[in-house]
């Protein structure tokens, strides 16, 4: 552990992110630095060192009397809070999915569906993070907002969300405060309005990723990640309907479902049952011959250009049919080697959001995989609520990435020359 005695402001911290298991991982990183989030000038904020250093601080900081033993940050507290938050949110989603009423589903302004479970899940995650990490102001970049629930037409829905949230929190037993009011729930949902960015810590949440899968009774995920200075440092994916056994080839020998995947920078990826079995370390497939690979893609045709993914698969000689499932459950399944490739090529004009990939990205990269855009560039989560990327997202192991990139490039060239 790195320690240093320095006179600093109360928010000066030493952060050590241990070395990643995968040098080419697009989410992982390795460095050690000292900084003050608010009080240092921009140029001094993230000096990077190979090893822990005593740093010379600007006099306006050094003059503060507080002496801090700056300890290595391991994100342990945040990791535990994230697992608890995603697991509780998944419990709410499972309950709602069982008793789904038509009236629990609304259409948003982009005509995508949103349910009481999306809102409830977001409120629970926000509540749990606030409670567990009360020492830090919470910055949360999340998909939903309370706009429609604040209208007269949203009153009944808000009552149902509040009931689900309070019932779910009560099942945990560790929060003894009085039940949340509808206004508390609205406030918790709206905590998710942060814009994120390249500086400081931001939680990133998709309260239900794959709402269409959720409504069909298929796959969906609660996806929660933490960014630190624009990098994903931890991620949790709760996949309540994903079989615990492999889904390779779309078949599974076991009925038990409900997986929790989690990964922290430099520590690998683990999976356990949502009911709390002991965790197992998972690893991506080590297939090196693309003919033996199988690939995942969206269930929804509207979410990815399936003619393009078929062309890429043909070039790679992939024999197995695509495995089409909803949500970031694909990243979870990939992280344990159920398939070898995930391809996602949204139709023109669609902008990817960071909450649709942040948790999945670290889950798969810490399991030894690589996630890039269609040009092979790492995914950049530091640009705000959207991912700014070239054409699509591809994920695979390190052996297959070069041939996948080549097939992607050729297929994209053919597609553009045929237009």
Ligand X SMILES: Nc1ncnc2c1ncn2[C@@H]1O[C@H](COP(=O)(O)O)[C@@H](O)[C@H]1OP(=O)(O)O
Give the catalytic positions in this structure.
118, 211
Where on the chain is the footprint of ligand X (CB under 6 A)?
Answer: 112, 143, 206, 209-211, 213, 298-300, 302-303, 326-327, 346, 350, 356
> How far from each other are the two terminal CA atoms of the chain, in whole angstroms?
57
| Residue 324, binding choice from Mg ion, ligand X, none, Cβ under 5 to 8 Å by partner class | none
Nearest approach, Cβ of residue 406 and ligand X (Å): 24
Chain position whose Cβ is nearest to ligand X:
298
Nearest approach, Cβ of residue 196 and ligand X (Å): 16
| Residue 229, binding choice from Mg ion, ligand X, none, Cβ under 5 to 8 Å by partner class | none
Nearer to ligand X, 326 or 366 (CB): 326
E strand or H helix at 127: helix 116-132
Where on the chain is the footprint of Mg ion (CB under 5 A)?
Answer: 112, 143, 206, 208-209, 211, 356
| Residue 303, binding choice from Mg ion, ligand X, none, Cβ under 5 to 8 Å by partner class | ligand X
**Which of 239, 169, 228 minimizes the C-alpha distance to 203?**
228
Nearest approach, Cβ of residue 122 and Mg ion (Å): 9
Task: Give residue 258's Cα distance to chain centre.
Answer: 17
Nearer to Mg ion, 16 or 27 (CB): 27
| Residue 302, binding choice from ligand X, Mg ion, none, Cβ under 5 to 8 Å by partner class | ligand X
Instruction: Give the bridge partners for 127, in sequence order.
Output: none
What is the bridge-based pairing of β-strands 341-344 and 295-297? parallel
Nearest approach, Cβ of residue 355 and Mg ion (Å): 6
Nearer to Mg ion, 293 or 371 (CB): 371
Instruction: Give the bridge partners for 342, in sequence order.
Output: 296, 395
Copy the structure tokens of residue 308: 């393009």
3-state class of 288 per DSSP?
coil
| Residue 28, binding choice from ligand X, Mg ion, none, Cβ under 5 to 8 Å by partner class | none
Count of CB atoms situated within 10 Å of the CB of 254: 9
Nearer to ligand X, 230 or 346 (CB): 346
Nearest approach, Cβ of residue 408 and ligand X (Å): 17
| Helices (H), ranges, 58-113 | 59-62, 76-98
Helix count (H) and strand count (E) of the chain? 10, 18
Residue where the block lists tokens 């926000």: 126
Chain position whose Cβ is nearest to Mg ion:
209
E strand or H helix at 274: none
Q: What is the DSSP letter of 378?
A: B
Alpha carbon distance 395, 276 (integer Å): 28
Residue where the block lists tokens 């043909």: 314
Nearer to ligand X, 211 or 272 (CB): 211
């Amino acid at each position: 552990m790195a320690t240093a005695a320095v006179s600093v402001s109360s928010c000066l911290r030493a952060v050590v992110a241990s070395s990643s298991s995968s040098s080419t991982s697009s989410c992982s990183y390795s460095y050690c630095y000292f900084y003050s989030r608010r009080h240092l000038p921009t140029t001094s904020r993230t000096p990077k060192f190979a090893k822990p250093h005593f740093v010379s601080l600007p006099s306006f900081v050094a003059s503060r009397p507080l002496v801090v033993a700056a300890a290595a940050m391991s994100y342990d507290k945040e990791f535990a809070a994230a697992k608890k938050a995603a697991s509780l949110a998944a419990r709410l989603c499972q309950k709602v999915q069982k008793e789904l009423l038509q009236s629990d589903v609304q259409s948003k302004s982009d005509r995508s569906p949103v349910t009481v479970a999306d809102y409830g899940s977001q409120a629970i995650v926000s509540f749990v993070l606030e409670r567990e990490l009360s020492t830090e102001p919470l910055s949360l970049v999340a998909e939903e907002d309370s706009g429609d629930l604040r209208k007269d037409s949203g009153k009944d829905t808000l009552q149902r969300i509040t009931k689900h949230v309070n019932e779910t929190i009560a099942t945990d037993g560790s929060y003894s405060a009085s039940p949340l009011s509808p206004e508390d729930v609205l406030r918790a949902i709206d905590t998710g309005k942060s814009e994120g960015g390249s500086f400081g810590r931001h939680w990133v949440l998709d309260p239900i990723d794959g709402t269409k899968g959720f409504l069909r009774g298929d796959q969906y995920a609660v996806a929660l990640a933490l960014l630190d200075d624009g990098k994903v440092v931890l991620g949790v994916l709760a996949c309540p309907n994903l079989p615990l056994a492999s889904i390779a080839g779309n078949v599974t020998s076991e009925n038990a479902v409900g997986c929790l995947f989690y990964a922290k920078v430099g520590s690998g990826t683990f999976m356990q049952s949502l009911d709390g079995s002991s965790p197992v370390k998972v690893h991506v497939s080590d297939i090196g011959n693309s003919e033996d690979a199988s690939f995942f893609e969206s269930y929804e045709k509207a979410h990815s250009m399936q003619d393009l993914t078929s062309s890429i698969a043909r070039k790679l000689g992939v024999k197995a049919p695509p495995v089409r499932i909803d949500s970031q459950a694909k990243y979870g399944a990939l992280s344990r080697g159920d398939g070898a490739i995930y391809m996602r090529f949204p139709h023109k004009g669609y902008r990817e959001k960071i909450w649709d990939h942040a948790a999945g990205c670290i889950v798969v990269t810490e399991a030894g995989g690589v996630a890039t855009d269609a040009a092979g560039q790492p995914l950049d989560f530091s640009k705000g609520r959207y991912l700014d990327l070239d054409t699509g997202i591809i994920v695979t192991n390190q052996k297959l990435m070069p041939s996948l990139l080549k097939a992607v490039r050729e297929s994209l060239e053919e597609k553009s020359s045929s237009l």
